[in-house]
Homo-oligomer: A and B are copies of this chain.
Amino acid sequence: MDRAPTIKDVAERAGVHAATASRALNPATRAMVNARTAGRVHEAARALGYAPNSAARSLRTRTSSVAGVIIPDLRNPVFPPIVRGIEDALREAGYMALLGNTDGDPERERELVAAMRGRQTDGFILATSRRDDTVPGSPVPTVLVNRRIDGGGVPSVTADNAAGVHLLVRHLAGLGHTRIGHVAGPRSASTGWERYRAYLDAITSLGLDQAAKAVEFAEAFTEAAGHAATLDLFAANPGLTAVLAGNDLIALGCYSALAELGRTVPDEVSVTGFNDMPFVDRQRPPLTTVRIPHYEIGREAARLLLERIGSPEAPTKSVVLPVELMARASTGPAKPQDS
Which residues of chain A have a CB within 8 Å of any CB of chain B? 4, 51-56, 58-59, 64, 66, 69, 73-75, 77, 79-81, 83-84, 87-88, 91, 96-101, 114-120, 252, 278-279, 282-284
Contact = CB atoms under 8 A, between A and B. Distances in A.
A97 B96 contact: no
A69 B41 CA distance: 32
A284 B284 CA distance: 7
B282 A118 contact: no
Contacts of A64: 55, 119
A157 to B, nearest CB: 18
A147 B102 CA distance: 29
Most buried by B among A64, A119, A279: A119
B52 A55 contact: no
B284 A98 contact: no
A60 to B, nearest CB: 9
Contacts of A283: 279, 282
Identical chains bound together, number:
2
A133 B116 CA distance: 32
A107 to B, nearest CB: 14
5 nearest A-B residue pairs (beta carbon): A55-B58, A51-B118, A55-B59, A279-B279, A74-B80
B120 A54 contact: yes
22 contacts: A51-B118, A52-B118, A53-B118, A53-B120, A54-B120, A55-B58, A55-B119, A64-B119, A74-B81, A75-B81, A75-B84, A87-B100, A96-B116, A97-B99, A98-B98, A98-B99, A99-B99, A278-B279, A279-B282, A282-B282, A282-B284, A284-B284
A264 B183 CA distance: 36
Nearest to A139: B2
Contacts of A279: 278-279, 282-283
Contacts of A282: 252, 279, 282-284
Given A56-B59, A58-B55, A278 B116 contact: no
B53 A59 contact: yes
B120 A55 contact: yes
A91 B68 CA distance: 14
Most buried by B among A55, A79, A283: A55
A101 B69 CA distance: 15
A80 B81 contact: no
